[in-house]
Structure 1
């Protein structure tokens, strides 16, 4: 709030400062916030399903997949070697097919790990007051997860506006 009691609109610097106070990984949380806002409708609601091209994904899966390039490098190569070793007796003789099976298993593990990281980042976004969460799915909308319900995120209006103001890089 300023000196006359009117709150100032959020800007990206304020968002980053809030995240720095509540998150051990503020840059990662900021990436997740941006991806949620990218998937959101004009009111800031995203999920539980998002359409990407001609495919439909659960929001958390889509965010995890978008962040998967961050998992490249030595750690991914090490994971690939561990997965190949654990599947050694089950892999076919065809090296191309074996490579595809190992790649699919690595991708699945990276996605599972990324989904956990996304959930932690969303928790940080909730604590920072930038996002609200509820669950929707199988029978009815519901405050609590489980029972085949999936997360729906709503980016708070002032944060959504700040992110949208800077939507184009020059």
Structure 2
């Protein structure tokens, strides 16, 4: 149970987070490129629509049989999952927990300390859960990175609990 993190406090629903299953989550991001590239926040519906449209166009042009390039892309994605370093934004979890109106901060409890940050800053946190294709067993289960990458070289480690205050 040491891989489980609880999100509780001034929330409508306390949430149990299990970083070991996030490798299968479509919201995961590549930590090696996330902070070095500029990114735009796009809606999930927009992304899905573009993806389906691209697939439909490919089927019309090339038929329903997958061309060799698509097979190569799938193989590359599988390899990337086995060797990559990934993180996931905390914002969807905060939304699912439904923060109460009087919530103002997030406390990150670790094995040895506590870090309190504003909710505005908390909404941009990224939770690193994989390094080199392996879960963060020694100093995990997650590393917390600030959205502005100010702690990129020294993330918050050994996280045990998130408390909304």
TM over 0.5: no
Whose strand proportion is higher, 1 or 2? 2
Q: Report the TM-score when normalising by structure 2.
A: 0.28
Q: Report the TM-score when normalising by structure 1.
A: 0.27
Whose helix proportion is higher, 1 or 2? 1
